[in-house]
Amino acid sequence: MKYFYVFVLCLLLFACKKQAVDDSPIQSNWLLPLIKGNLSLNELTKLEGESFEYQITPNDIGMPTNQTVSSPSFKINFIGPFVIPIQDIIKYLKVDTIEIGMKIHNLFPVKFNSGFTATLRSSKDTTTNNNILFSTTFTNALQSNGKDSLTLNITNVTMNDSVYFFIEDLQIDAFTNVIFNENIPIEFSINKVRLNEVALYSNQSIDLADTVAFDPGDLSSVYNSAINDSSVSGYLNFYTDNGIPIFTRLQMIFMKDAVRTDSVFENSFILEGASVDGGGKPTNIVSKKNVVNIRKSKLKNIEGSNKIVYSLSINTNGYPVPYVVINKNNLLGLQIVSDLKLIINPFKF
């Protein structure tokens, strides 16, 4: 968008100089380079970049807190689950790759023997191995006050609305006269997510937003009092082809720090979602046009902005239950065509 406004200003400056000796209207029709955007499946999950911290308490291994205790060696089959939530709107995710980082700091006064595992399951059920998405073994003992970390690279799995981590097969040697007075922190971070398919429950909604720096340039060198709102008529024509089975409300808001200065649309641009078949998969592409009037007053508001917020509100309202399916081949295409008309009176210019 930054380059779009710079191009507008350059065109106006060129047109004004060229036609200053003629009082006939200047009609400058120009085409902005085609812009296409893909609605990212990753954004729907809000997983990438997230981190979650949990605690293992003395009670999780059957020990009291702040008391002197002794014990023979023992084994804990399962500690957990530690839940990583996805989104309530999501029925399932088909994951191409997901990279999860794990950090653990053993603040217990005893060591964990080597051979315990960190296991990721698609459900809380520990009576079966059919729900194991990934499992990795700690090959070194984790000493008291010791730290360790793992990076889990998981490929080609299906996840439901949440996933569950367990610490499994934890063995602790015999100990005497120790005090458990702290918990063990475990941190999970979702570093990368690449999806093949997302299933969204019907009649659900979710809001997405992204804020980026914005620098539209200086309009003062182009406009003066001879050019006013009554003589400038600029339009942006937004053409969309939506092959995704979700309804989308789009808005681009210009900000000066924390203050809203203007927006692209007077009201949000609403995109209808594609129809679906009996399996919830898209069967058509919905095309739509929206026209935005860009006047001098709007450009002056935009000139004072330093941020732009891209806001998306999406929903699956009205789709047949239970869910709709989006895969990486379903796209939302966006084309912007601009049309600017400028009238100049050479005796006032």
What is the predicted pLDDT for the residue at 173?
96
pLDDT greater than 50 at residue 254: yes
| Percent of the chain that is helix, strand, coil (3-state, to 5) | 10, 50, 40
- Which has the minimum average pLDDT: 58-72, 290-304, 320-334? 290-304
Q: Transcribe 133-145 into DSSP letters.
A: EEEEE--S-B-TT
| Cα separation, 327 vs 338, whole angstroms | 31
Kindly report, residue by residue over 188-206, the tens digit of the pLDDT: 888 888 888 888 899 988 8
CA 150 to chain centre: 25
pLDDT greater than 70 at residue 10: no
| Cα separation, 238 vs 233, whole angstroms | 16
What is the predicted pLDDT for the residue at 303?
74
Domain ranges of the chain: 2-30+202-342, 43-200
Cβ of 283: how many Cβ atoms within 10 Å? 11
CA proximity to 334, closest of 241, 266, 268, 264: 241
CA proximity to 98, closest of 138, 54, 134, 139: 134
| Strand-strand pairing, 184-201 and 51-56 | antiparallel
What is the predicted pLDDT for the residue at 60?
95
Peptide bond into 245 cis (omega under 30): no
- Which has the minimum average pLDDT: 7-11, 106-110, 248-252, 271-275? 7-11
Express as a percent the part of the chain with pLDDT over 90: 29
Cβ of 268: how many Cβ atoms within 10 Å? 17
Cβ of 95: how many Cβ atoms within 10 Å? 22
CA 304 to chain centre: 27
The pLDDT mean for the chain works out to 78
Please state which architecture CATH assigns to domain 43-200: Sandwich (2.60)
Sign of CA dihedral 52, 53, 57, 62: positive
Task: Please check whether residue 104 is in contact with residue 152, taking contact to mean a CB–CB distance below 8 angstroms.
Answer: no
pLDDT greater than 80 at residue 265: yes
Kindly report, residue by residue over 144-186, the tens digit of the pLDDT: 999 999 888 888 888 887 889 999 999 999 999 999 999 999 9
Of residues 224 and 180, more confidence is placed in 180
Q: Transcribe 229-256 into DSSP letters.
A: GGGEEEEEEEEEEE-SSSEEEEEEEEEE
CA proximity to 53, closest of 197, 184, 176, 174: 184
- The SS3 call for residue 3 is helix
Torsions phi, psi of 270, nearest 5?
-100, 125
